[in-house]
Amino acid sequence: MSDLNISQLPEEYRELQNVVREFANEVIDPVSAQHDKDHTFPYEVVSQMGEMGLFGLPFPEQYGGMDGDYLLFGIALEEIARVDQSVAITLEAGVGLGAMPIYHFGTEEQKQKYLPDLTSGTKLAGFGLTEADAGSDAGATRTTAVEEGDEWVMNGSKQFITNSGTDITSLVTFTAVTGQREDGKKEISAIIVPSDTPGFTVEPAYDKVGWNASDTHPLTLANARVPKENLLGERGRGYANFLHILTEGRVAIAALATGAAQGCVDESVKYANERVSMGRKISEYQAISFKVARMEARVHAARLAWMDAAAKMIAGEDFRKEAYIAKLIASEAAMDNARDATQIHGGYGFMNEYRVARHYRDSKILEIGEGTSEVQLMLIARELGL
C-alpha cells in the first residue's frame, strides 16, 4: 500500500466514497443546521452510520468490523466532513479515540467484551487524556489511580472529552498516575472506566464556538473504583500508547479537515456561478475565481498528504512525520478555505444556515485538537533532527 496511486483508487474505495457521499447529502445535510442550532447530538444519524458499518471500517471482522483500512476510514471522514464536521468528529473519535486503544492494547478478553458494540456504532467510547494543565505535557497529569485490593481507586478530572456524555457512551479510557518510575518521573497508565461506574461524573457540556452537534464534556472521578483487570495495556505505558493513538488520529483528523476544505470549495463554486453582481456572475471576476483556485490547490495538497500518511501506516512503515505534516497542512487548509468561502458568500456567509458559516466556526478547532499546529511543527522539526 505504500506505493498506492491515490489518483487511481481501487473500485471498493470508490464505491464506499459514493455511498458515503450520497448518505452525507441525503441524510446528514438536511438535519445539520437544526442540530447545530439546537446543540443536539444526532442520534438518528449515528445509528444509521452504525448500520452502514462506518464505525467498524478499520477493524477485523472477528470484532464486528468491516476488515477495511485507514484509507477507507479517511475517505468516509472526508465525505461526511464536507457537509457536517460535528458528525465527522463523532465518527473519528468513536473509532480513533474510543475503539482503537482497546484494539491496539487491550487483552483478548477486553476486545471481545467492548469492541463489538463500539464497531457496530451502538455504543461510543471516549479518550480521557487532556486535563486543565496536562495534554501534550504528560508530566503534569494529576489524575491518579491507586491500588486497593483487586481494584483501582481513581480520582481526578479531564476536559474536552469527545463522545463522553451521550446516551450511548459505554466507557472512557483514562490516563492516570499509577506510581513513580525509577527515574523519579510519574508512571502513567491507561485504565478503562465504564460510564456507569459510581464516582464517575459527566459534567455539563461545553458551550462551544463550533462542532455544536458533537458531544464534549469535562469529566470527574471521585473515588471511582474499577477492577484491576481494567488496566489497558502494560502498566506505565499509558501515555506512550496514547501517543501512538494520537499519531494515527492525526491522519484521520487530516482527512476530516480535507473534507471540510473540499466542502468550502464546493459551496463556493456553486455560489459563484449563481450569484450575479453588476450584471455578471461573480465567478467571472478574477478576484473570485483566483480565490477559489487557491482553495482547490489547498485541498489537493491536503488530500495528497493524508493519503500518503495513511498508505505508510497501512504498509507498516514509520508514518509519524507524514502524519504530523498531514495534520498541519489539512487543518490550515480547512481554516483558510472556510475564511475565503465566507468572504466569497458575503453577507450570506455570515448566516448560520449556510454550510460555509458552520465551516468557519467549526474549522478553527482543527488547528488545536489532537495537537496544535505549533505542536505539529515541533514534531516535524524533531523528526528532522532539529
Q: What is the pLDDT of residues 74-101, one digit of tens each?
A: 999 999 999 999 999 999 999 999 999 9
Checking if the pLDDT of 4 tops 60, the result is no
pLDDT tens-digit series, residues 317-370? 999 999 999 999 999 999 999 999 999 999 999 998 889 999 999 999 999 998
| Mean pLDDT over the full length of the chain | 94
pLDDT tens-digit series, residues 222-255? 999 999 999 999 999 998 898 899 999 999 999 9
Residue type, 246: L
How far is the C-alpha of 4 from the C-alpha of 236, rounded, in Å? 37
Q: What is the pLDDT of residue 132?
A: 87
Q: What is the pLDDT of residue 157?
A: 96
Nearest alpha carbon to residue 4 among 318, 323, 316, 314: 314
Residue 11's pLDDT band, with cuts at 50, 70 and 90, is confident
Residue 155 has φ and ψ, to the nearest 5°, of -140, 140
Label each residue of the chain as H, E or C.
CCCCCCCCCCHHHHHHHHHHHHHHHHHHHHHHHHHHHHCCCCHHHHHHHHHHCHHHCCCCHHHCCCCCCHHHHHHHHHHHHCCCHHHHHHHHHHHHHHHHHHHHHCCHHHHHHHHHHHHHCCCEEEEECCECCECCCHHHCCCEEEEECCEEEEEEEEEEEECCCCCCEEEEEEEEEEEECCCCCEEEEEEEEECCCCCEEECCCCCCCCCCCCCEEEEEEEEEEEEHHHEECCCCCHHHHHHHHHHHHHHHHHHHHHHHHHHHHHHHHHHHHHCEECCEEHHHCHHHHHHHHHHHHHHHHHHHHHHHHHHHHHCCCCCHHHHHHHHHHHHHHHHHHHHHHHHHHHHHHHCCCCHHHHHHHHHHHHHCCCCCHHHHHHHHHHHCCC
Q: What is the pLDDT of residue 136?
A: 67
Q: What is the pLDDT of residue 7?
A: 58
Q: How many Cβ atoms sit within 10 Å of the Cβ of residue 175?
A: 26
Checking if the pLDDT of 3 tops 50, the result is no
Cell of 67: 476488515
Evaluated on CA atoms 252, 122, 214, 379, the torsion sign reads negative
Q: Note the residue count of the chain.
A: 386
pLDDT tens-digit series, residues 254-287? 999 999 999 999 999 999 999 988 999 999 999 9
- Percent of the chain at pLDDT above 70? 97
Angle at 258 between CA 271 and CA 386, to 5 degrees: 135
Q: What is the pLDDT of residue 292?
A: 98
Mean pLDDT of 107-136: 93
Q: Please return the burial class of 194, using the count of CB atoms within 10 Å of its CB with bins 0-12, 13-18 and 19+.
A: middle
Beta bridge partners of 221: 156, 200
334 and 365 in contact (C-beta within 8 Å)? Answer: no
Residue 1's pLDDT band, with cuts at 50, 70 and 90, is very low
Residue 220's pLDDT band, with cuts at 50, 70 and 90, is very high
252 and 96 in contact (C-beta within 8 Å)? Answer: yes
How far is the C-alpha of 264 from the C-alpha of 335, rounded, in Å? 10
Mean pLDDT of 200-212: 96
Residue 129's pLDDT band, with cuts at 50, 70 and 90, is very high
Q: What is the pLDDT of residue 168?
A: 98
Q: What is the pLDDT of residue 183?
A: 87
Residue 243 has φ and ψ, to the nearest 5°, of -60, -40
pLDDT tens-digit series, residues 301-319? 999 999 999 999 999 999 9
Checking if the pLDDT of 154 tops 70, the result is yes
Q: What is the pLDDT of residue 6?
A: 52
How far is the C-alpha of 244 from the C-alpha of 333, rounded, in Å? 24
Cell of 177: 498516575
Q: What is the pLDDT of residue 386?
A: 95
User: What amino acid positions are annotated as catalytic residues?
Assistant: 370
Q: Which domains does the chain have, with CATH numbers?
A: 11-124 (1.10.540.10), 125-236 (2.40.110.10), 240-383 (1.20.140.10)
How far is the C-alpha of 242 from the C-alpha of 105, rounded, in Å? 10
Checking if the pLDDT of 2 tops 50, the result is no
- Percent of the chain at pLDDT above 90? 89
Nearest alpha carbon to residue 246 among 151, 148, 138, 164: 138
